[in-house]
Amino acid sequence: MRYGRMPFMLMLVLAVCGGGLSAAGVSAAAATTGRPIANAKALNGLGTLAFCWHHDIWTVKDGKAHDLGPGFRPVLSSSGRYVAYIKGIKSSSGTLWVARTDGRGQHFAPLGSTPVAANGYAWASGADELVAARSTWAEGSRGQASSSTKTSPGQQGSLWAIRASTGKKSTIVSNARIASVATGSGLVAYSVTHPMPLKHPGNATDVLYVAHLRPHSSPKPLLSTLDSGIQLAGIVGNHILYWVDPQHSASMAADGMILYSVLTTGGRPQTLTTTLGYPSWLSFSSPDTLYAVTGGLRIVWAKKTLRRYSLTTGKYSLIACNAANVALDPAADPATGRIAFVRAANLSVKTWGFSSPAPLEQWVASRTLWVTKPGGASPQPVAAVEHGVYHPQWTANPNMILYAKDSGLWLVDLSTGHTVEVVSGILGSSENDLFGFYGHRWMTDEYSWVQ
């Protein structure tokens, strides 16, 4: 098995079937059709999946798979009825499209030809309403401000809310230097960078705003940070989570930032912990309960623990802390209170990379799936999944977990130990490392999942 930059391992055929195909069957089918395989029947009743395969967007819903045409970075609405994506071949920005996931109806581009950043759109939770930003937002990576924010001239952007059912759009803010955005239930939060006068080019102040989506309200400023960036991490209940990036430095941010929580109505922020700037490492089981991977240093294989926080008090308890292992990729199941996460070998802080494939493969092989009892108690390994696990996610069936492994997505039944590959060949392309820089693997570019 290879990790790192590699081509698709197989050319596979799209099929609606009850089980996996043999390697010979897959190869023969791929040679005939050149389409991906999606075990749509296995996903029936568990949720909706959208993924990118060979520059096309595909969805799997209600036991059927649909090809939506060219695009990249699919993002599903919380209802699973719609998917947003950038039209065309993968790049830093493009034209935003919205489509029904059941394959019916026409795609539409509610912003016309206005370019949208590849990471500049997200759905409001609990609603089929999309928030999108002009491509001058997120000039850096993953919705964060550019590393040149301190000295570059002001870049103006706009932010809109779009109703998927009608395509109607409303302007939230225009002509602002938007640094980051987060959405919640009926809310949108965003930060704006205000450069200081020219005689102080190295300084800039970020201001955090919040606005209601339905009905739309005027943005309200909540707080500001001097000579520091505000990077939004998410909204849950009446809490906004954000990191503070000292001096708007991408390098400093990469080694960890302090995570804060502030009420959507304002007030004194609550200091939580230091984490890396990965929203996928934050998971919520209730409007007040956060599970977070904590620890500084940009390498993910050292000094990373999983903690349970109260957003109101800032108090925490350790969920997974072991000197021999790190805890990564938490996923809380609000329905049952259980937590799924990945445990991997804790390497030395002196291990800043790998000089050959062997130690890298050895570390990836140490990534195993674990599940706790409600509240994060008594973590236990899921032996049937074996190793090489990334990004577990719960499904509508409380005994079924979706996870990434090798080049595909898999399901495991916790009650029986049965595993099945449901989509193959969508991870680890030549454009996206399966391993990822410093050990973190971004999955949002390849697929999106909702229960």
The mean-pLDDT minimum among 157-166, 176-185, 195-204 falls in 195-204
Place of tokens 């300084």: 203
pLDDT at 214: 81
Domain ranges of the chain: 110-277
What percentage of the chain reaches a pLDDT higher than 70?
Answer: 84
pLDDT band at 231 (very low <50, low <70, confident <90, very high): very high
Q: How far is CA 411 from CA 19, 20, 92, in A?
A: 11, 12, 31
Return the minimum-mean-pLDDT range out of 25-34, 109-118, 359-368: 25-34
Give the residue with greater pLDDT, 289 vs 28: 289
Q: In the predicted model, is pLDDT for residue 220 greater than 50? A: yes
> Which residue from 238, 242, 334 is spatially nearest to 286, judged by alpha carbons?
334
Grouping H, G, I as helix, E, B as strand and the rest as coil, residue 213 is coil
Query: What pLDDT, on a 0 to 100 scale, did the predictor assign at position 340?
Result: 98
> Locate tokens 């739309």: which residue?
216
Model confidence at 342: pLDDT above 80: yes
Nearest to 391 by CA among 414, 367, 420: 367
Neighbours of 204 (CB within 10 A): 24
Q: Per-residue DSSP letters for 263-327?
A: ETT--PPEEEEEE-S-GGGEEEEETTEEEEEE--SS-TTSS-EEEEEETTT--EEEEE-BTTEEE
Secondary structure (H, E, C), 244-260: EEECCCHHHHHCCEEEE
Q: Which amino acid is present at 394?
A: W
In tens, the pLDDT along 24-76 reads: 333 333 334 567 888 999 999 999 999 999 889 999 999 999 999 999 999 99
**pLDDT at residue 158 tops 60:** yes
User: What is the pLDDT at residue 161?
Assistant: 94
Q: Per residue in 222-235, is it b (16+ CB within 10 Å) or e — as a string?
A: bbebeebbbbbbbb
CATH number for the region 110-277 comes to: 2.40.128
Neighbouring CB atoms inside 10 A of 109's CB total: 14
At 167 the pLDDT is: 87
Question: Rounded to 5 degrees, what are φ and ψ at 101?
Answer: -80, -15
**Burial track 386-398 (b if 16+ CB lie within 10 A, e otherwise):** eebbbbbbbbeee
Short-list 78, 197, 49, 75, CA closest to 143: 75
Cα–Cα distance, 7 to 340 (Å, whole number)? 30
pLDDT score for 323:
86
Name 425's Cβ contacts closer than 8 Å, sequence gap at least 6.
8, 9, 10, 11, 12, 36, 37, 53, 407, 408
The confidence band for 284, taking pLDDT boundaries of 50, 70 and 90, is very high
Per-residue confidence band for 11, with pLDDT thresholds at 50, 70 and 90: very low
Q: Which amino acid is at 147?
A: S
Query: Residue range 378-384: average pLDDT?
Result: 95
Given a cut of 80, is residue 224 above it in pLDDT? yes
Give mean pLDDT, residues 307-316: 95
* Distance from C-alpha of 345 to C-alpha of 426, rounded to nearest angstrom: 26
Amino acid at residue number 139: E
Calpha distance 13→35 (Å, rounded):
4
With vertex at residue 298, the alpha carbon angle to CA 296 and CA 300, rounded to the nearest 5 degrees, is 90
Q: Say yes or no to pLDDT of 138 above 60.
A: no
Q: Both ends of the chain: CA-CA distance in Å?
A: 31
pLDDT for position 23: 31
Where is average pLDDT lowest: 152-156, 332-336, 339-343, 423-427?
A: 152-156
Q: Quote the CA–CA distance of 324 and 303 in Å, as a whole number.
A: 10
pLDDT at 94 over 60: yes
d(CA 161, CA 121): 10
Q: Is 76:62 a contact under the CB 8 Å cutoff?
A: no
Position 154 pLDDT exceeds 60 = no
Q: Is 85's pLDDT higher than 90? A: yes
Q: Looking at 351-360, 397-406, 434-443, which range is the least confident one? A: 434-443
The string of DSSP codes covering 18-56 is SSPPPHHHHHHHHHHH----B-HHHHTTT-EEEEEETTE
pLDDT score, position 20? 33
CA distance 417 to 383: 8
pLDDT at 37 (0 to 100): 82
pLDDT of residue 321: 77
Burial of 56 (0-12, 13-18, 19+ CB in 10 A): middle
Over residues 275-281, mean pLDDT: 95
Mean pLDDT estimate for the chain:
84
User: What is the structure's pLDDT at 203?
Assistant: 67
**Is a pLDDT exceeding 60 seen at residue 144?**
no
pLDDT band at residue 338 under the 50/70/90 scheme: very high
Distance CA 146, CA 141 (A): 7
pLDDT level of residue 10 (50, 70, 90 thresholds)? very low
Under DSSP, the state recorded for 185 is S
Interacting residues of 28 by C-beta distance below 8 A, sequence separation 6+? none
Neighbours of 70 (CB within 10 A): 17
Q: 306, 264, 314: which is closest to 288 by C-alpha?
A: 314
